[in-house]
Copies of this chain bind each other. A is one copy, B any other.
Amino acid sequence: MWIIAPISALASVVVGGFLYSYVSRQDSGTERMREIAAAIKEGADAFLKREYMTLAYFVAVMSAALALFIDPIMAPVYIFGSACSALAGYFGMQVALKANVRTASAARKGINYAFPIAFRGGAVMGLSVVGMGLLGVSIIYGLTGNPEAILGFSFGASAMALFAKAGGGIYTKTADIGADLVGKVEMGIPEDDPRNPAVIADNVGDNVGDVAGMGADLFDSYVASIVAAMILGKELGAAQSIISMDQIPLIFAGLGIVASLIGVAIVRVGRKGNPGKALNFGTYSTCIMFSVFTLIATYLLKINIGIWIATNIGLLSGVIIGITTDYFTSIDRPPAIKTASSSRTGAAINIITGFSYGLISLFPPLLGIGVASVIAYYVSEYFGISGLYGISMAAVGMLSIVGMIIAGDAYGPISDNAKGIAEQAGLSEDVIEVADRLDAAGNTSKAITKGFAIGAAGLTVISLLATYQVLTRSGGFDLMNPLVLAGMLVGISVPPLFSAMVMLGVSKNAFRMIEEIRRQFREIPGLKEGREGVKPDYARCVDIATTGALKELLPASVVSILITLAVGFVGGIEALGGYLGGSIMSGLIFALLMANAGGLWDNAKKYIEAGAFGGKGSDAHKAAVIGDTVGDPFKDTAGPSLNTLITVMSLVASIFAGLIAKYNLMILLGI
């Protein structure tokens, strides 16, 4: 029966291919537009090529280590996971690079022409992520019949995602901060102005960071949640239905893809339509379809109803978390308005206020994840199913509709890019306004998506911790065990350490970028005045962003993996369990804080730009720009990498658990 998984996965990839060719066939605009698009594509391709080449060494070393120390099968499986993740990101980015200019071109005809291009461009990413992910899992499961082997696949995908997020995140913020601080603040020229030497790098950044990076991130959560549920199903499950419990996650994931395919198909927007509403309609419809499809499957396959309930609790809590997140970041809600208002007393108060609301915003989603876990656990137990398996199915439920979620999310940077191209190509005001409306809709749907992504990652890593416990046959991780406690104290400090290394990477690199932009404005005659025929040296800025990102890419990720192994080999299985618990806690704290505070500062600035408190150019606006700049690496570099980081740490722990159980310092000391 689980054959539905590879079939729907394949269908997803095929539909993605059709949408790709649909996007490709659209008109790519004026020569100037094509020229800009080509420059962005060139920059993005160059970055990705150099990034993957750098990572090839890491993949080689890691797969050798896995083969040597763990199991020879791990090496090909690991490489396969890395390749699938990279490929999904690459595909998604290629179509985004086509869709941006075509969306801009279609915006000349109206929003109902432009919207489908941007959305379907995003959908290619979404469908290829879930398609490649579930296909890969199915292939390995089909070949080995052993869910544990898929851990290696998941690890490959996650490690790749971590690098993609960190590298892309550093790239995009280097360019963005540089372009904003010198262009907007110092020179007073508008965003996306072609005179700005960093404008192409900034557009490249949207693609390598927001599209490729984000796709890799959700690829990794998606695969990890399925793998964790499969392992727990195999280890903890009695025969509850005519199919074995490790296959239920595959079936439900397959149905999630079917729901997403339909969801993608029904998203439409009319001539006067509201793209934000259309995206939300697509998301909610997909949720409902998933719920119905899985209920039917539960009935037909005589699956324990507890599993269905647990799965749907996950989905429901994802929606709730998304909505509360929306409250804290939305432009028309008190947190953003008060932060905007506080900008009147300067940048410092703006930052303190936004940071404070970011701290408050932790409460609802953390409570939500906690309550969802408890309900999923006890409902499952009530129906005679392992509670930990129930939690893992809640994670699968939350991530089941990820194809649709990514489609809506990738739509954002595509329309952002489209707007950039429209402005650089000097298209008319009302075209830019159409592009603006598309872009704004992207921001609305993004908030819900982000809450979803973090909630899903939270439940996923909790089920990965359960997987680790089950695989190590550990009695549990008692806080009063000093090794667990000490492990936890170290664990909570790793996500902050990682964030800091990545953000310092951004600030170091932004420094170089700013110096270069200032130099160009100083040394290229006529650039600032926009004299005919004078062009800045875009390539130099693209190069600075690329080189810097690649340099800062590896250290943070490698350090985190090494500390994980060190804690294991020093403290043993239980210390490592506490360590994972701690890293989940502080990973969630900082992921939520950084995403929400960052989003809030951004919208507080936009609120002022819309005319409040003196509007653009006022002192309040200048203060809000500083807050927004602080928020940039928070929300687009450090914050979103943390989901992936804790997944990677959990997978490293599970994979090396056997080795650690045998060789560790505590055994040597006889403790």
Pick the interface stretch among A31-39, A146-154, A199-207, A576-584. Answer: A576-584
Q: A465-B480, A477-B480 are in contact. Are A589 and B496 (CB under 8 A)?
A: yes
* Nearest-neighbor residue (CB-CB) of A178 within chain B: B345
Complex Cα spacing A130 to B504, Å: 42
Q: A181-B345, A351-B351, A486-B371 are in contact. Are A503 and B356 (CB under 8 A)?
A: yes
Q: Which residues of chain A from 360 to 401 have any CB-CB distance to chain B below 8 Å in the complex? A: 360, 362-363, 366-367, 369-371, 373-374, 377-378, 387-388, 391
Q: How distant is A123 from chain B, measured CB to nearest CB, in Å?
A: 33
Set of chain B residues within 8 Å of A164, measured between Cβ atoms: none
* Nearest-neighbor residue (CB-CB) of A346 within chain B: B181
Q: Is the CB of B353 within 8 A of A479?
A: no
Set of chain B residues within 8 Å of A185, measured between Cβ atoms: 346
Q: Is A216 an interface residue (CB 8 A)?
A: no
Complex Cα spacing A374 to B567, Å: 13
* Nearest-neighbor residue (CB-CB) of A628 within chain B: B348
Q: Is the CB of B352 within 8 A of A630?
A: yes
Q: Is A511 an interface residue (CB 8 A)?
A: yes
Q: Is A143 an interface residue (CB 8 A)?
A: no
* Nearest-neighbor residue (CB-CB) of A634 within chain B: B352
Q: Is the CB of B485 within 8 A of A476?
A: no
Contact of A356 among B476, B479, B493, B499 (CB under 8 A): B499
* Nearest-neighbor residue (CB-CB) of A496 within chain B: B359
Complex Cα spacing A480 to B388, Å: 8
Set of chain B residues within 8 Å of A40, measured between Cβ atoms: none
Q: A387-B482, A585-B582 are in contact. Are A489 and B370 (CB under 8 A)?
A: yes
Set of chain B residues within 8 Å of A626, measured between Cβ atoms: 346-348, 351, 626
Set of chain B residues within 8 Å of A160, measured between Cβ atoms: none
Q: Is A230 an interface residue (CB 8 A)?
A: no
Contact with B along A292-323 (1 / 0, CB 8 A): 00000000000000000000000000000000
Q: Is the CB of A462 within 8 A of B485?
A: yes
Complex Cα spacing A370 to B566, Å: 14
Q: Which residues of chain A from 610 to 668 have any CB-CB distance to chain B below 8 Å in the complex? A: 626-627, 629-630, 633
Set of chain B residues within 8 Å of A510, measured between Cβ atoms: 345, 349
Set of chain B residues within 8 Å of A358, measured between Cβ atoms: 500
Q: How distant is A584 from chain B, measured CB to nearest CB, in Å?
A: 9
Contact of A479 among B347, B349, B366, B578 (CB under 8 A): B578
Q: How distant is A339 from chain B, measured CB to nearest CB, in Å?
A: 10
Complex Cα spacing A578 to B351, Å: 32
Q: Is A167 an interface residue (CB 8 A)?
A: no
Q: Is A342 an interface residue (CB 8 A)?
A: yes
Q: Is the CB of A374 within 8 A of B477?
A: no
- How many residues in A have their beta carbons less than 8 Å from beta carbons of B? 80
Contact of A362 among B493, B585, B633 (CB under 8 A): B493
Q: A489-B366, A511-B342, A671-B378 are in contact. Are A497 and B585 (CB under 8 A)?
A: no
Complex Cα spacing A479 to B452, Å: 24
Set of chain B residues within 8 Å of A346, measured between Cβ atoms: 181, 185, 626, 629
Q: Is the CB of B374 within 8 A of A486?
A: yes
Q: Is A117 an interface residue (CB 8 A)?
A: no
Set of chain B residues within 8 Å of A479, measured between Cβ atoms: 465, 476-479, 484, 577-578, 581
Contact of A373 among B367, B482, B585, B630 (CB under 8 A): B482
Q: How distant is A313 from chain B, measured CB to nearest CB, in Å?
A: 12
Complex Cα spacing A479 to B579, Å: 11
Q: Is the CB of A514 within 8 A of B345?
A: yes
Q: Is the CB of A492 within 8 A of B589?
A: yes
Q: How distant is A395 from chain B, measured CB to nearest CB, in Å?
A: 13
Complex Cα spacing A59 to B522, Å: 66
Residues of A within 8 A of B (CB): 177, 181, 185, 342, 345-349, 351-353, 355-360, 362-363, 366-367, 369-371, 373-374, 377-378, 387-388, 391, 462, 465-466, 469, 476-490, 492-493, 496-497, 499-501, 503-504, 506-507, 510-511, 514, 577-578, 581-582, 585-586, 588-589, 593, 626-627, 629-630, 633, 671
Listed by A's residue number, 18 A-B pairs whose Cβ atoms lie within 8 Å are: A345-B511, A346-B626, A348-B629, A348-B630, A349-B629, A355-B503, A356-B500, A356-B501, A362-B492, A363-B497, A388-B480, A465-B480, A476-B480, A479-B581, A488-B581, A489-B585, A582-B585, A585-B586
Q: Which 9 A-B pairs have the closest CB atoms?
A: A370-B486, A348-B629, A370-B489, A359-B500, A476-B478, A359-B496, A356-B500, A377-B482, A477-B479
